[in-house]
Amino acid sequence: MKDRSATGCRALSDLRDLLGRAHVLTDGATDPFARDWTGKWRADPLAVLRPATTQEVAEIVRIAARHDLSVVPVGGNTGLVGGTANTGALMVSLERMSAIREVRPEAGVMIVEAGAILSDLHAAAAAHDLVFPLTFGARGSARVGGFLSTNAGGSNVVRYGSTRGLVLGLEVVLADGRVLDLMSELRKDNSGYDLRDLFIGAEGTLGLITAAVLRLLPAPHHHATALAAIRDLPAALSLLRRLQSATDGAVEAFEYMPRTYMRALAHHRPDLRQPFAIHDHTVMIDLGGLSRPLVDTLEEVLSEAVEAGEVHDATIAQNETQRARIWEMREAAAEITFKRLPIVDNDVALPLDGVAAFIDRMHERLAAIDPAAETLIVAHLGDGNVHLTVYPDDGCRLEDIREMVEDVTVGLGGSISAEHGIGLSKLSTMTRRKDPVALDVMRAIKMALDPQDRMNPGKVVPKA
Amino acid sequence: MKDRSATGCRALSDLRDLLGRAHVLTDGATDPFARDWTGKWRADPLAVLRPATTQEVAEIVRIAARHDLSVVPVGGNTGLVGGTANTGALMVSLERMSAIREVRPEAGVMIVEAGAILSDLHAAAAAHDLVFPLTFGARGSARVGGFLSTNAGGSNVVRYGSTRGLVLGLEVVLADGRVLDLMSELRKDNSGYDLRDLFIGAEGTLGLITAAVLRLLPAPHHHATALAAIRDLPAALSLLRRLQSATDGAVEAFEYMPRTYMRALAHHRPDLRQPFAIHDHTVMIDLGGLSRPLVDTLEEVLSEAVEAGEVHDATIAQNETQRARIWEMREAAAEITFKRLPIVDNDVALPLDGVAAFIDRMHERLAAIDPAAETLIVAHLGDGNVHLTVYPDDGCRLEDIREMVEDVTVGLGGSISAEHGIGLSKLSTMTRRKDPVALDVMRAIKMALDPQDRMNPGKVVPKA
């Protein structure tokens, strides 16, 4: 057991009075919350707290203020940017606040507590023949508060948008312990500033999200899923546009996997037998029809592309098993990426027509810095979102490589974080690359809403 | 010519040096900008300024600071809430900054100056077989800066969302005269707080929008448009859901017009011959197919609804002329509404399943307050957005009626402004009805970004 300051002890005593001993975890009991799944980021909190109500969360924030402690929310711990790293903070886990309070199919909404797990939301929506479309590999662990605080993306943003587009209402505990009630179920609301979208993606630095109203959509019943080897990236984008037109926008995923990725996949996951030889460029396509089967449409569009010399080979899933296997090829990315260390991992967004230029320029400049470096790329091509992992030849060029990727990204009008957020890991990048006026505006907002810098301090917005 | 203070004269002199005499309008020359089209709200500005560049806008804000003047943006003057009313302010018109700088079909974006007119954007997108979907009656006058600052809605929000969902990037002149460059073309960007959505819908109170990156979408080529007399509102919502499913979400508009509206339409616009007798409930349906004609689908779904006794009568447009006439029946609303005065006009949003309850309760309570009052309703039913105009029997009950409508709206979890914004006209409603914590957060943000209260002061956020 650790030595503690008198302040820490008094805070723990207040917290035990509030929550009961069982819900104030200290020392070894905090381990599962303190280590994120990349193993790169650690937390050393004073305690992990497990409140059962919004009022208890609010009281925690007031106790933190009294003892001058920080408050750091922790969800499923599936983040990649050190968003919950801290020393001596009160970490708040909402795992006891995981209720799906209400599903209202007629209104197309689901009212949930922020500790609910994403895959549970999927199941609850499916029971009403509806869908909460946000999805990504970590859906079995990721919690509402986490995916809202990071404005999570995933594989079907091309159809449904990121988290922000799927949220109607929020409840937030503010830095002063007050509860902000934005639990609207409305499609339209122009009554003042858009506070909701400010808290979404703020990574807990402006307040702690405790509940949300989420949008539900009609469930597509007719999936058509394919893997296609394609000539180049422009051909891929043109294929995407033709698929959008031919299906009235039913493209649910359009994922790019180049040779390096397919090769790594063959190496690490031989069980996922690839349907054709490895080509330079492969895309995974998933269509989701509401009213009609789309397999024929997919086949037609792909056949035309084959005749035009744009697609070299293609396979369409004939059943759910084959479909699941194609998806697994894409979702194995997270697992494969971390097989080797050190890495420089990037999550950049480009204008849709800038992805090819990004990949070319980046490889050219990487060859100059570290000729033996290898890369692994997988991209949400429909969103211009490239996940690029660089494996340097030695560990001495990490910073040079990082800055080179930033250079190329910003030079093409891109963003240095598409969907993973900033946390701690991208703070220096924010300082270097974000418009200084934008940084000042963010600082002014942070100062206005959290003048004591109590809520997840040191994340997202670098100090001036 | 008006007497002016010495300060006013010095400011005008600085502004003439900056912009040239021709672009500093005073006295009678300001009239076209100072009167909004409802005739309800007036402005009495020191001058109307017509800058040609973002740098000139920034310099205007600095000159305003030097002389302690307010800055009020004015667009097409098609607002309904007094958003540009002022006395002695510098009004800024961007009519000389109306360029469509770039259309990039491959990237699906259009880069525009904030003075561009909405219908010009439509034409520019159409030239590339694309669509910028935002549309409403005033599209021939409304300018980018105006529809962004009010997060405008309109008739096809059910498919495409409000303005906020159609904007990728912004350029904003801040209260301190700095230029905030958020001109992103990206689909995803998690690099810090969502500043873009904060400035959208802020009605010019946090900064002045000078340019934007807008999303372009594939143009639907196959329209199917109908007018249908329907049993009741639940039947209408169920019809909407069936249409969504049958068309993979191709419903572009689903507008509700009850008996009172159709009667007023018959009276004021006999030229728009109605295709069938007036029923209690009528909906206007517009479908927009990308890949396939939807007329057969529409006919099928309507026939089934006729057989189920849910639809009493229906007509499907057989050509563009008939389609235009059906649309005109809906778009005549603005014109018809203001034929009589005084009015209590409301723009409320309800949960999708709360519209019927709202209309019933409101009529019940209105009968108790003013039995002879009449109402006019038209609703974007797919968004839960009801435009309700009350014509009181005398002018003495306006405030009672206003508060009654607020009561019923808030009682059903609704919002007191769906798409028109707050401006001046809804300020007292904001004070009464908005969560006090939310109001405090808005005040803190306003204070942080505009500590001198220089940007469109007195709008949106009521004083504490």
Fold of the CATH domain B222-321? Alpha-Beta Plaits (3.30.70)
Angstrom distance (rounded) from CA A163 to CA B181: 24
Q: H or E element: which one contains B287?
A: strand B281-289
pLDDT of residue A235: 96
Both tokens of B56, joined, read 């000139």
Contact B83, B461 (CB under 8 A): no
pLDDT of residue A39: 75
- Domains A6-93 and A222-334 in one fold: no
Angstrom distance (rounded) from CA B33 to CA B44: 10
pLDDT tens digits, residue range B374-386? Answer: 999 999 999 999 9
Q: What residues of chain A lie within 8 A of the CB of B292, using their CB?
A: 248
How big is the A-B interface in CB pairs under 8 Å?
Answer: 271
Beta carbons of B449 and A449 less than 8 Å apart: no
Check whether the bond before B457 is cis (ω within 30° of 0): no
Both tokens of A371, joined, read 């000729």
Q: What residues of chain A lie within 8 A of the CB of B422, using their CB?
A: 190-192
Contact B150, B82 (CB under 8 A): no
Tell me which chain A residue has its CA closest to the CA of residue B158: A187
Q: What residues of chain A lie within 8 A of the CB of B354, using their CB?
A: 107
CATH number (3.30.70.2190, 3.40.250.10, 3.30.460.10, 3.20.20.220) of A222-334 reads: 3.30.70.2190
Q: H or E element: which one contains A73?
A: strand A71-74
Regions of chain A short of the pLDDT cut 50 = none
Supply the CATH classification number for the domain B100-218: 3.30.465.10
Q: What percent of chain B has pLDDT over 70?
A: 99
**Nearest neighbour of A289 by CB, restricted to B248, B460, B461:** B248
* A interface test, pick of B193, B199, B252, B427 with most A CB neighbours within 10 Å: B193
**Nearest neighbour of B192 by CB, restricted to A179, A297, A460:** A460
Angstrom distance (rounded) from CA A401 to CA A409: 12
Both tokens of A373, joined, read 């470096």
Both tokens of A267, joined, read 């190496």
Fold of the CATH domain A100-217? 3.30.465
pLDDT tens digits, residue range B125-156? Answer: 999 999 999 999 899 999 999 999 999 999 89
Q: What residues of chain B lie within 8 A of the CB of A246, using their CB?
A: 290-291
pLDDT of residue A3: 65
Fold of the CATH domain A6-93? 3.30.43
Q: H or E element: which one contains A391?
A: strand A385-391
Can you point out the beta strands (E) in B159-242?
167-173, 179-182, 208-215, 217-218, 222-230
Q: What residues of chain A lie within 8 A of the CB of B157, using their CB?
A: 187-188
Contact B163, B153 (CB under 8 A): yes
Cα torsion B236, B238, B242, B247: sign = positive
Tell me which chain A residue has its CA closest to the CA of residue B350: A186
Instruction: Give residue limits of the domains in chain B.
Output: 6-93, 100-218, 222-321, 340-419
Beta carbons of B245 and A291 less than 8 Å apart: yes
Cα torsion B198, B200, B201, B203: sign = positive
Nearest CA-CA distance, residue B247 and chain A, Å: 6
Tell me which chain B residue has its CA closest to the CA of residue A414: B186
| Radius of gyration in angstroms for the set of CA atoms belonging to chain A, rounded to a whole number | 23
Residues whose CB falls within 8 Å of the CB of residue A256, separated by 6 or more in sequence, listed in order: A233, A236, A281, A282, A283, A355, A377, A378, A379, A380, A381
pLDDT tens digits, residue range A364-414? Answer: 999 999 999 999 999 999 999 999 999 999 778 999 999 999 999 999 999
Tell me which chain A residue has its CA closest to the CA of residue B130: A245
Residues whose CB falls within 8 Å of the CB of residue A271, separated by 6 or more in sequence, listed in order: none
Beta carbons of B186 and A435 less than 8 Å apart: no
If you write DSSP's letter for every residue of A129-159 in order, what string do you get?
Answer: TEE-----GGGGT-BHHHHHHTT---TTHHH
pLDDT of residue A2: 60
**Nearest neighbour of A246 by CB, restricted to B291, B351, B354:** B291
Contact B177, B59 (CB under 8 A): yes
Is the complex ipTM higher than 0.85?
yes
Both tokens of B10, joined, read 């010095």
pLDDT tens digits, residue range A81-100? Answer: 899 999 999 999 999 999 99
The residues facing A336 across adjacent strands are none
pLDDT of residue A35: 81
Architecture of domain B340-419: 2-Layer Sandwich (3.30)
Q: What percent of chain B has pLDDT over 90?
A: 89
Q: What residues of chain B lie within 8 A of the CB of A174, using their CB?
A: 437, 441
Can you point out the beta strands (E) in B34-75?
43-44, 47-49, 71-74
Give the SS3 label for residue B377. Answer: strand
| Radius of gyration in angstroms for the set of CA atoms belonging to chain B, rounded to a whole number | 23
Residue type, B159: R
Nearest CA-CA distance, residue A9 and chain B, Å: 32
* B interface test, pick of A156, A187, A459 with most B CB neighbours within 10 Å: A187
